[in-house]
Structure 1
């Protein structure tokens, strides 16, 4: 039976390393970073040092990677969505991604892709499913390219969130059900009309696009590596905490911080703590069962993480490389939002969940020691979304 504990400690992850035979960043990763730098509103997002919190928890450093404004949107999702949309459209048109970037080294005009599709007589349309930020990011890319987008959303999504997606020029279609039901409706729609399906969750037979998404998140991780060294005077991250959702961002984080190539540079791999809402503990449940396990979800203010099924491409990496999986409640995430606000950082509940997880881990008997958290630790919290409206839990 699954443990009633809010945290699952995966002792097998201590020795696991993501095996890469590269001695330097892959060409794909280099192109991802070049691509993002050419997009409108590109800027490095800040890394905040939460010194008072580090002192309270008796840790060396607690650092918050703030994704509340990324490429003009209030979430990190645009990093994965932009690269995945770009690569998907490029491949559908039979173009070369690297050549297109080289031809646009000074300014990337994405409308050229829409124009190329029109010249080839192809009516491209993007289709996706979202709890909020992902769909808006895909819609933003479609607007840049001048092609239509249809975004499927679960019925519980607030009208304000739907309107933000519509504000990007996309059509919003509401599905009577939760996120997993909406995913199935999206898959069916794409099969019927041949639209370009751009999702950050994978399943059997649909793996390439979600891998593009994971690649896209490398920009954030490389940024934070450099920022951490600057803030700490040359000390690399020893622990990182990341939200899960369907698993794509957690997969990117594990692969990055457990890379066999990175270790000689950073000194050692970083421990990865993954956090989920207690309404959707699909990773924790899967780790406890030793196999990918879907769960029935409930409503949560952490709606962007409220996924009942893990991405199939993420699961093998998470199973082997996540050091601990934790669940937090809505009230804990809400309190973390307020605490970050008091510290001068804005966040929504999904982003603040990483802080809630850190505080909870430090309070569980023996868990702090088991995770190796000490006065010499450098902890990075990935705060994945900006402030947004939600109903505060009682």
Structure 2
């Protein structure tokens, strides 16, 4: 049976928060940095009866097939600058690598540690490689062989477990508790661990700055609806912080697998919940507990949350592939979610969808980052 979780908060667009710290200048220092495409898909606009549908394509982000390096790189930069008392404003990946190689004894160079269900771990491993550091990546059960091999190919030590995602995160964190050298770069938060997850959220905001610039270049004043995939909610937190810190704010929609609806169920309950997860082709979204750091902003600023099935996601992957878009299951989930919204008048009205609306679908990964299971 398909579970259809739906949550709506009519007050969300009136809520405001201070703007996040921008990491855009730092990201521009990467060799090969350029904004990822925002592609117009008029066939989908016609299907959904809206003015424009645009896909933010993260299939090629700084040499990786997903957006995660935006957060992993900025958080690692911030953490290293804090540890060594370096000037954050002047820091680049190249300058940090030079400093670590010249000024830090080999046995005192940190190992970057994280738990992941795919793309975040690969991003942390890539950042470690760029800095001349080692990485240790813990993975839960259910991660595809292709994703495991991709992490290994970054040069990281891979620790495979038979745990679910939340328990793998706990294991990674415990591995650094009594170690003054190794550095945990985790994209979810808990009591006493908030700085790095906050910096990861800030790093993700570069993506939404690019969306705004691309829409302006097209002569569009801004989106009416932005839809993003959700795992623990760090990326959704970045979306809320970005758009709710502006005078004019669009509707914001989170999309989750129906087998791992930790945010939707938490929003419906009005408090953060841990839910039992099942198997899903949306591997990077198979998370059971929402981010503690992001929860207040998500509760106050998220217009709506919806869940989708693997079958609905497969259809979205196929349809986007037929439109020449390189989109994996997590990335395609946003189309599946907006389709379910657009099919019901009450939901369309809740999010202000009409025949002039500009809809942005954030595709967080390419197909090769998370192929269909």
Paired residue for 2:26?
A: 35
Paired residue for 1:61?
A: 52
Question: 1:221 touches 1:256 (CA, 8 Å); kept in 2?
Answer: yes
Paired residue for 1:338?
A: 318
Paired residue for 1:7?
A: 6
Unpaired segments ≥5 residues, structure 1: 102-106
> Are 1:113 and 2:99 counterparts?
yes
Paired residue for 2:123?
A: 137
How far apart are 1:158 and its partner, in Å? 1.9
Aligned-residue RMSD, C-alpha? 1.7
Secondary structure of the residue aligned to 1:150 is: strand
Distance (Å, rounded) in 2 between the aligned partners of 1:309 and 1:111: 34
How far apart are 1:276 and its partner, in Å? 0.5
Distance (Å, rounded) in 1 between the aligned partners of 2:99 and 2:133: 9
Paired residue for 1:104?
A: none
Secondary structure of the residue aligned to 1:191 is: coil
How far apart are 1:391 and its partner, in Å? 4.3
Matches for 1:163-202 after TM superposition, within 5 Å: 163-194=149-180, 195-202=182-189
How far apart are 1:110 and its partner, in Å? 4.0
Secondary structure of the residue aligned to 2:176 is: helix
Distance (Å, rounded) in 2 between the aligned partners of 1:230 and 1:65: 15
Distance (Å, rounded) in 2 between the aligned partners of 1:391 and 1:216: 28
Question: 1:275 touches 1:325 (CA, 8 Å); kept in 2?
Answer: yes
How far apart are 1:16 and its partner, in Å? 1.6
Q: Runs of 4 or more off by more than 4 Å in structure 1?
A: none
How far apart are 1:365 and its partner, in Å? 4.2
Question: 1:117 touches 1:123 (CA, 8 Å); kept in 2?
Answer: no
> Are 1:211 and 2:198 counterparts?
yes
TM-score normalized by structure 1? 0.90
How far apart are 1:98 and its partner, in Å? 1.4
* Offset from partner CA, 1:130-159 (integer Å, 9 cap, x none): 000000000001001111110000122122
Q: How many residues align?
A: 369
Distance (Å, rounded) in 2 between the aligned partners of 1:34 and 1:70: 16
Instruction: Select 1:223's aligned residue among 210, 219, 224.
Output: 210
Unpaired segments ≥5 residues, structure 2: none
TM-score normalized by structure 2? 0.95
Distance (Å, rounded) in 2 between the aligned partners of 1:63 and 1:158: 29
Secondary structure of the residue aligned to 2:138 is: strand
